[in-house]
Amino acid sequence: MAGLTAVVTGGNRGIGLAVAEGMAKAGADVAVWARDGATSADAVERLRGHGVRALAVACDVADEQQVAEAMTRTVDELGPLGCFVANAGISAAAPFVDTPLEDWRRVLRTNLDGAFLTTREAARRFVAQGSGGSIVVVASTVSRFGAANQAAYAASKTGLLGLGRTLAVELARHRVRCNMLLPGWTRTDMTAPALRNERFTAATTARTPVRRWAEPAEFEEVAAFLADPALTFHTGNEVVVDGGYTVF
Ligand code: NDP
């Protein structure tokens, strides 16, 4: 992927940072779009350690203008877009009957509006460039099963599959591929509250055939693989990385 520009939203920590590192190790120049400046600066230092150019761009993925400006800055500084990973996401846990509308809207705003706005910006850029390209949408295995206390999150992640499949169909004629990455239980800031619940951690670990949760670093290769321009026939796929949880 040398010479390609990759964007990873939420690439400053967790799964997104691992994905960004995978891209950098494969030779891509990487732009990290996120809100927190300090973690983004740290991430960029780490990415540059792999000998590529890296850029932190302050961006709320659910803000249309910020997304447009982030793309312009990325392409101006790193060159034409090669691959785009819509990874930024949040969750909110509450029993369904107690879920405030505000929480529902907050989760859908980031996870669905954010993916819509950012992948639309990426798709527009790919079409204008006439270069083809790759989009990876980070969904979740929660789109494959019911998860108590996760109504908004599960709805958003299942919606992302519909978005990603549609992009795969609609953008194929522009040689733009779109694949979905579905992580299972992974140790990050997002899951820190769940990890503090020992009964929950023990139950999910016991139900996972490999008998553990994933570490973020385990997502390095898979996203770079999905983004590899050589995979010209590989689109519309849902790649599950969950230690076998959903097939058990
Ligand atoms: P983290 O909480 O560690 O990271 C979330 C990332 O999203 C951060 O980089 C954050 O950056 C960014 N982000 C959140 N809101 C916005 C926003 N409005 N604009 C820009 N960036 C934003 O979570 P994970 O690494 O665990 O999650 C990454 C993705 O993987 C998410 O989409 C999540 O749903 C998905 N996933 C995670 C699983 C897990 O078990 N951890 C399982 C399945 C899917 P900042 O706050 O600086 O903006």
pLDDT (average), residues 12-25: 98
Pocket of ligand 1 contains residue 152 by CB under 6 Å: no
Burial class (CB in 10 A: 0-12, 13-18, 19+), 211: exposed
153 is a catalytic site residue: yes
| pLDDT computed for residue 241 by the predictor | 98
Q: Is the pLDDT reported for residue 49 higher than 90?
A: yes
Cβ atoms < 10 Å from Cβ of 38: 9
Strand 5-9 versus strand 81-86 pairing type: parallel
pLDDT band for 63, please (50, 70, 90 cuts).
very high
Strand 54-58 versus strand 81-86 pairing type: unpaired
- In tens, the pLDDT along 182-229 reads 999 999 999 999 999 999 999 999 999 999 999 999 999 999 999 999
The average confidence (pLDDT) of the chain is 97
| pLDDT computed for residue 100 by the predictor | 96
C-alpha separations of 132 from 23, 27, 83, 127 in Å: 18, 18, 9, 7
- In tens, the pLDDT along 116-154 reads 999 999 999 999 999 999 999 999 999 999 889 999 999
pLDDT band for 248, please (50, 70, 90 cuts).
confident
Burial class (CB in 10 A: 0-12, 13-18, 19+), 145: exposed
25 is a catalytic site residue: no
Q: Which strands, in side-by-side order, build the sheet including 5-9?
A: 54-58, 29-34, 5-9, 81-86, 133-138, 176-183, 238-241
pLDDT band for 5, please (50, 70, 90 cuts).
very high
Q: Among 32, 42, 44, 87, which residue has the most ligand 1 atoms within 8 Å of its CB, making it the best to mutate?
A: 87
Please give the helix or strand (H or E) that residue 198 lies within, else none: helix 198-207
Instruction: Indicate which residue's Cα is closest to atom 2 of ligand 1.
Output: 190
Instruction: Indicate which residue's Cα is closest to atom 4 of ligand 1.
Output: 14
pLDDT band for 29, please (50, 70, 90 cuts).
very high
Instruction: Indicate which residue's Cα is closest to atom 18 of ligand 1.
Output: 60
Q: What is the DSSP letter of 213?
A: P
Q: Is the pLDDT reported for residue 75 higher than 90?
A: yes
Rounded to the nearest 10 degrees, the angle between the axes of helix 114-129 and helix 64-78 is 40
Q: Domains in the chain, ordered, with CATH?
A: 5-241 (3.40.50.720)
pLDDT (average), residues 154-183: 98
Pocket of ligand 1 contains residue 140 by CB under 6 Å: yes
* Atom of ligand 1 at shortest range from CA of 191: 41
156 is a catalytic site residue: no
- In tens, the pLDDT along 30-46 reads 999 999 999 999 999 99
